[in-house]
Structure 1
């Protein structure tokens, strides 16, 4: 497609191309005189004892340089008449697509990529034109001096050019692969570096490091492949531009025996060293590197839609509609252990959730509840078994775009409230949609108290419960149909927790998995998964009360009776301050986060941790 468009572009401007060729002919004359004039100066002048004739021929060579410089100046004007229309056309296309489609890459295309295309195209025109007309002038000069010289110089030149042209397409592909890999790695760094705190909070260091390592390895392999093919480029330059020098020296006795004069031999060396070798070197390096770069840029600028880019890596995209009947979540024989010698935390787990399902996960502290959500989110990888989200394997980009994990410790960054809430959206969230989500989840009072969506947010000034409300609303606004709440409401009071969970359960097309913090979460769920090491139980709340002793014990431990906290509320360190109604610390619930029978009241908020351990 790029080649056809390029030919059509040149055909539409045939007058400019013709003018470029005419002015380039002056350079051909200059190249011709580069070797022919010194040869005549030696043979007919200095070696013949006529220094005046020799000086006259050298004067002709100097005049040729001046004429060539005049032609070169006119060449630049003609090249500009080709390049500027190309740039204008690309700018118009980028701006039109940016306005029509809201393309987020329009600014980069306008300010950087079009300039790369213009400069690279101009360089390629100059390099290609120079080689064609320089080679023509040199070969004509060699034939004029002595036909055997054309044989000695022309054959290796043609062989070198043929080798280079044969490797041009593979080189271009590998150069493009390297550029794409380099840009992907740079984009990955751009996502990872600002999110280091979030990565650490989620315990995803190894996962992110492995993913970044794959990008680095991809670029390394692309660079190695490009380097191997680059050897052939060097070989082409050696054969076409440097071997003729050696052949002229080695074959000098034979050439002199064939009637080639010393001046003609010197002229041939001048053609090779002063004209052919520099022109071939510029061609090889210009087409071999800049040419493929131009192809990459033009492919992006001339794409028919905005699908090539537009959503930064690491942000959730709106997933395509999945075929009906595909389970929202499938686990088959999933086993995971923290180390080869450790006992499995999840052992041979099978689970299937239909779209729209609401699952609560319960079990003693440390039994693997949070590990399960990390496996589904792709933060951890199972040692055995398979996990699929809407039919797509985990880990994987398609699965990642269909699920969102909200951990216990909510991440809020410095910025506006709207920026925090829209973190998982590729584009700014309309204010009406943002306010509707805030009302659905229960963030609206806090949003009003802070001063609205545009209000700045200081994470240190927020309580843990307020940060959780922001993280929950952020997940609600994401495009992911599967939401994983890993005790993401542990700092909210029961009423606020119920409000948020019901909002996610009623989310259109949404599937909800909740690591339960209170027994009320299991009563609201369609199904409950009880984890107990190597064994699990699955069913409704009433079914599990009948057949699961562990579930009965957990329900008994989750006493709804009022209790008082072990220490006075209030936190002078402001690590986990109670902000008011709707947040944890009101003493209206008891939390079971230990072995059955050990009941723990709301913990010491001075530690700043969640109320209990993490499963």
Structure 2
């Protein structure tokens, strides 16, 4: 294969030799001697050399493909074998990207290296054939330029690898932040996330600058090896002509340098400098990965995020809500015990998603006593989820104060006293016991865990999965099953205030009623439910109807008599007694 590649390359290099030699002979033996016919014949020979060289180039591409494709196949076998044997998460990236980079880089490397070697050989032979003194002018700067470029290859490869490592680290960091924006907001880690991402950006910027600085010696190598010979030929022209070099030979030498050596050296520097370093780096990373290299660049899906901090944040987080109306009517405060602070209080709270946006909440006053049970209802997009996000501290009100058990929101004390269960229930990899006990500082006794699961309605699923120690496959669970696990996790939480933001929407009415009754009866617990069924309102002590200026507050029976929006929500719907 290599011999075949060399033969076709030699045929391709024939045009290089004929280009300068034919031009020199056309001038010296033809046009300058007054013989136009001879000059035209030599020019025709040079043109024929171009056609023959083009034929050789076509065959070179086939030979290169025969050389490169087996290498690609071996790399694919290596990546697949490692992926199967070691469960390497980066195997997909290696197959889809890095192997293809290696193949393309190797093909480009073979093409430019082979082209430079045979082009330089054809040009140097042509210079010697025209006049040996020409080699004294062209040869030294050409060798110096190649040597200078060769000296840059190793540090260039190191800088290229440092840049790739920095780029992968930035991609991992950005992927984790993109998937975990809800977690970051829930845990108040915005500054830390920005700082970590900024460190990665600065690292990649420094690596990119270090890599870019090495373009200076590469440019110098091109100037010394390809452009300086042109200047030297022109400066040394009188000296060369005085030593028997003919004008045609001098013109042929300029053609060799400008039309053959300079383009070949330029392709070598750009191709080998970029492709060669990339090939070196990719091959090293494909064949011998360090533990840092094998970290997956993809981030886990929300159903399988493994970290405890993330799971706690997700279990307390809220889904965003689109809003187009604002409750403007203050809600009367419910009667609360005198000595115990209310579980939740909102005083003149207003919130809008932008300076020019219509307020979602406008002067809202609300008090939920310790042990109370409040249900929030209203049209979709009216701001129910925004209200829970404000109570949870995930959003900051534009005006007013929010307190949880007397502690201001946002704040660490208030955050420890509430647990938010969003509509999107998060189940994590690990055992069922690990999932259910994530919000407890210490392991939950198995008896307490099973009792809580039975109370909330998780008991049948707990038995089907094989008990608390059974491992959970989040992808194999239905949306309702994931919600039951999230609800039981929140039930076991030490936080007294539970915020259910449509956290039972995937459960049937009976399962929903059981879960809500469990939270309402939780010792020392207070329950706020964003409901999607009116049956939830029938079970509550108080109902908050969010409808902009027609916001209302009271019991189910009171609102049926006094609130037109609530009457519209209820319609002709009735609640079977067994579901209340």
Distance 2:286 2:241 in 1: 57
Q: How much has 1:103 moved relative to structure 2? A: 2.1
Select which of 89, 92, 101 maps to 2:77: 92
For structure 2, list consecutive stretches of 5 or more residues without a partner in the other structure.
309-404, 438-445, 466-473, 506-511, 527-540, 547-580
Deviation at 1:447, TM superposition (A): 5.1
Q: Cα distance, 1:295 vs. partner?
A: 1.9
Tell me, in whole angstroms, the C-alpha distance in 2 between the residues paired with 1:198 and 1:366.
21
What is the number of residues matched between the two proteins?
403
In the TM superposition, residue 127 of structure 1 has moved relative to its aligned partner by: 0.7
Deviation string 1:396-437 (CA, Å, 9 cap, x unpaired) is xxxxxxxxxx995557684xx6xx323xx5xxx6xxx44886
Mark the CA change 1:196 to 1:256 in structure 2 (over 3 Å): closer, same or farther: same
Distance in 1 (alpha carbons) for counterparts of 2:222 and 2:63: 29
Could you say which residue in structure 1 is the equivalent of 2:345? none
Whether the 8 Å CA contact 2:422–2:501 is kept in 1: the answer is: no
Q: Deviations over 1:159-185 (max 9, x none)?
A: 111111111111111111112212221
Conservation of the 8 A alpha-carbon contact between 1:37 and 1:58: yes
Task: State the partner residue of 2:327.
Answer: none
Question: Cα distance 1:607–1:408, how it changes in 2: closer, same or farther (>3 A)?
Answer: farther
Q: Which has the larger radius of gyration?
A: 2
Q: Which shows bigger deviation, 205-214 or 65-74?
A: 65-74
CA distance in 2, matches of 1:570, 1:231: 62
Of the candidates 515, 518, 523, which is equivalent to residue 588 of structure 1? 523
Q: Does 2:185 match 1:185?
A: no
Q: Distance in 2 between matches of 1:175 and 1:61?
A: 41
Q: Counterpart of 1:217?
A: 202
Deviation at 1:40, TM superposition (A): 0.6
Structure 2 residue 479 is matched with structure 1 residue 457:
yes
Q: 1:583 to 1:69 in 2, by over 3 A?
A: same
Secondary structure class of the residue paired with 2:22: helix
The 2-side partners of 1:159 and 1:411 are apart by 70
Q: Is the Cα–Cα contact under 8 Å of residues 490 and 584 in structure 1 kept in the other structure?
A: no
| 1:49/1:317 CA distance change after superposition, 3 Å | farther
Aligned to 1:197: 182
- 8 Å Cα contact 2:171-2:297 kept in structure 1: no
Offset of residue 492 of structure 1:
8.0
Which of the residues 409, 421, 427 maps onto 1:421? 427
**How big is the alpha-carbon RMSD for the aligned residues of Structure 1 and Structure 2?**
4.2
Deviation at 1:270, TM superposition (A): 0.8
Cα–Cα, structure 1 residues 95 and 590, in superposed 2: closer, same or farther, change >3 Å? closer
Alignment counterpart, residue 302 of structure 1, candidates 276, 279, 287: 287
In structure 1, stretches of 5+ residues that fail to align are 1-15, 320-362, 375-405, 474-487, 494-568, 592-602, 609-615
* Equivalent residue, structure 2, for 1:489: 494
For 2:307 and 2:249, locate their aligned partners in 1 and report how far apart those are by CA, in whole Å: 72
Selected match of 2:107 from 116, 122, 127 = 122
Distance 1:605 1:138, change over 3 A: farther
Cα distance 1:462–1:148, how it changes in 2: closer, same or farther (>3 A)? same
Cα distance change, pair 303–607 in 1 and its aligned pair in 2 (3 A): farther
3-state SS of 2:494 partner: coil
CA distance in 2, matches of 1:169, 1:365: 61
Tell me: CA distance 1:368–1:55, structure 2 relative to 1, closer, same or farther (3 Å): closer
Equivalent position SS for 1:489:
coil
User: Which of residues 235, 247, 255 in structure 1 aligns to 2:220?
Assistant: 235
User: Do 2:483 and 2:503's aligned partners in 1 also have CA atoms closer than 8 Å?
Assistant: no
Tell me how far apart the structure 2 counterparts of residues 251 and 369 of structure 1 sit (CA, whole Å).
Answer: 82
Partner of 1:107: 92
CA distance 1:368–1:491, change in 2 (3 Å) = closer
CA deviation after TM superposition for structure 1 residue 94, in Å: 1.6
SS at match of 1:52: helix
Partner SS, residue 524 of structure 2: coil
Q: Distance in 2 between matches of 1:411 and 1:254?
A: 90
With 52-61 and 179-188 compared, the bigger mean Cα shift is at 179-188
CA distance in 2, matches of 1:370, 1:71: 75
The whole-number CA distance in structure 1 between the counterparts of 2:262 and 2:20 is: 14
Q: In structure 1, the residue corresponding to 2:33 is in which secondary structure?
A: coil
- 2:119 maps to 134
In the TM superposition, residue 300 of structure 1 has moved relative to its aligned partner by: 2.5
**Are the structure 2 counterparts of residues 206 and 252 from structure 1 closer, same or farther at C-alpha, using a change threshold of 3 Å?**
same
